[in-house]
Amino acid sequence: MKANKFVFLYIFTFFLVLLGRCSGNTQHDKTKKTASRMRARRRETDVTRIIRRKIYLSHFIKRAMLFSTDDATLKLPPIVFTVVHGTWAKGSPEFTKEHDPTYKNIKEFSYKLSAKYKHPVLLLSFGWSGDDNEGRRRGAGAALAGILNVFSESSDAFMIAGIGHSHGGNVFHYASHYVKRPIDLLINFGTPTRGIGGVTSEEAYYRPDKIKKEINIYSTSDPIQLAGSVVQETLYASLTSSGDARRQPYQSGKRIVNVHIKHNAIPPGHVTIKDIVVGLYELIEHIATYYKVHNDLVADVLLKKNRKIITVAINDFLTTRDLVERTDIDLSNQETVNQITSEVEHNREQERQYYRLYPGYGDIRSKGSMFRRMAQTIGDAMRLIRIGIQEFMQSFKKKATKQLPFRKRVRGPLTRPS
């Protein structure tokens, strides 16, 4: 009799645990099923040959991919999304090759753009010489402007966006002076600022012109960006202008947001700053939702157990003088005051979140210890070496798998001569 009671209690407890698990995972299962349905509807097409036949500057297009989250959106005008590499990165796999994690993250970003705007995304991998030369950058900028104008003139683009790394962002800046249609969104990683401080010279061409919104992402552990920002003519302006030479100065009529970035509480280096692409879409959406007035921010991207936690706080609070000079705020006086109050409150919440995520790391605005920054620089160098080895192995495999040239076989006698 006692044995029957124990069996009954065991079975009853088992069913209670099973019921609790099912009810607790209901929302998770729904989210998982929705994500799987979205992945099933995804479409990816290589259109490199088609684009090269359409554009006369075809040798600058290294790869062209068309992404869509639904078959119905393929008939609509695409979002022309261009990625441009930086100096000494010609042939880099990060913006062109499937096996590279950065390119995979860019593809995921393209899918999210397509899902948001309900339009396909045409991803163009723009390649230039990558020489540390003013003439080469200007030539690449002129070519990029010509390519973007092809889509602008024929109304084949729903939206024009792009990502530039290092001097690839300045290639975009130079192109923005010659495009016929403004660039809707530009995201720069570690781009050296040029033509700052009101210098009237050829360096001023590297300031953004026909760009509606630019997000300048920089890191305090990036000495290469700082070195590329200072030239002989603009040395004094770089050191004496408001802010440091990493930030893009405010311009009238443009929405320019400077973001001091951190990755797992550590400012990344010049190469590893591209790893932020994994949380780039969430970062942009966070800024667009909560920060419509402040344009000097600090952000952290935490990757934890397949989860992305984005923390965005205010790096430099606005003053009354800043608000008077700003012309990109489309709000009334009372609405501006309410928006600033809301942003300051959200900033406090984000600061508390950062303290919870990283106990003992201090304030989110801190630059980090010298030891961590040195370790980041060493990690950057190791990353470059690893990329070079991977690219060499990929090219070696391609050469090894190539078919040998056909040689005509000479048929000998059927019987061995005695």
296-304 β-sheet, strand order:
43-46, 61-68, 121-126, 79-84, 159-165, 185-189, 213-218, 255-263, 296-304, 307-314
pLDDT of residue 384: 64
Note the pLDDT tens digit of each residue in 179-233. 999 999 999 999 988 655 444 455 677 888 899 999 999 998 888 887 777 654 5
Q: Find out whether 208 and 263 touch, Cβ atoms under 8 Å.
A: no
- C-alpha 113/C-alpha 147 separation (Å) is 21
**pLDDT, tens digit, 9 for 90 and up, residues 128-183:** 999 888 889 999 999 999 999 988 776 678 899 999 999 999 999 999 999 999 99
What SS3 class is residue 78? coil
Would you state the pLDDT for residue 152?
Answer: 79
Indicate the pairing of strand 296-304 with strand 255-263. Answer: parallel
CA distance 179 to 174: 9
The two three-digit tokens of residue 258, written as one number: 């400077």
Residue type (1 letter), 300: D
CA dihedral of 237, 240, 245, 249, whole degrees rounded to 10 = -80
The C-alpha angle 378, 104, 50, rounded to 5 degrees, equals 125
| pTM of the predicted protein model | 0.80
Torsional sign, CA 258, 264, 266, 268: negative
CA distance 48 to 397: 23
Mean of pLDDT over the chain: 79
Q: What domains does the chain contain, in order, with CATH numbers? A: 40-227+242-381 (3.40.50.1820)
Nearest to 177 by CA among 154, 211, 203: 211
Q: How far apart are CA 215 and CA 112, in angstroms?
A: 18
200 membership: H or E segment, kind and range = none
Strands (E), 209-335: 213-218, 255-263, 296-304, 307-314
Could you report the per-residue pLDDT of 42-90, keeping only the tens digit for each?
888 888 888 888 777 788 999 999 999 887 678 888 999 999 999 888 8
By DSSP bridging, strand 79-84 and strand 61-68 are unpaired
Reduce the secondary structure of 372-412 to three states and give it as a string: HHHHHHHHHHHHHHHHHHHHHHHHHHHHHHCCCCCCCCCCC
Task: Report the half-sphere exposure of 47 (CA within 13 A, side-chain side).
Answer: 18
Contact of 311 with 353, CB cutoff 8 Å: yes
- Residue 131 CB contacts under 8 Å (≥ 6 apart), including other chains: 87, 88
| Residue for token pair 């000097």 | 296
Query: Closest Cα to residue 60, out of 78, 80, 79, 85?
Result: 85
3-class DSSP state for residue 123?
strand
Distance from chain centroid for Cα 128? 19
Q: Are 64 and 46 in contact (CB under 8 A)?
A: yes
Alpha-helical (H) ranges within 25-123 are 26-40, 48-54, 101-117
Look at 28-37, 39-48, 343-352 and tell me which has the smallest mean pLDDT. 28-37
What type of residue is 324?
A: V
**Residue 266 backbone dihedrals phi, psi, to 5 degrees:** -120, 125
Percent of the chain at pLDDT > 90 equals 39
Task: Please give the pLDDT value at position 193.
Answer: 83
223-263 pLDDT tens trace: 888 777 765 455 555 444 444 678 888 887 889 999 999 99
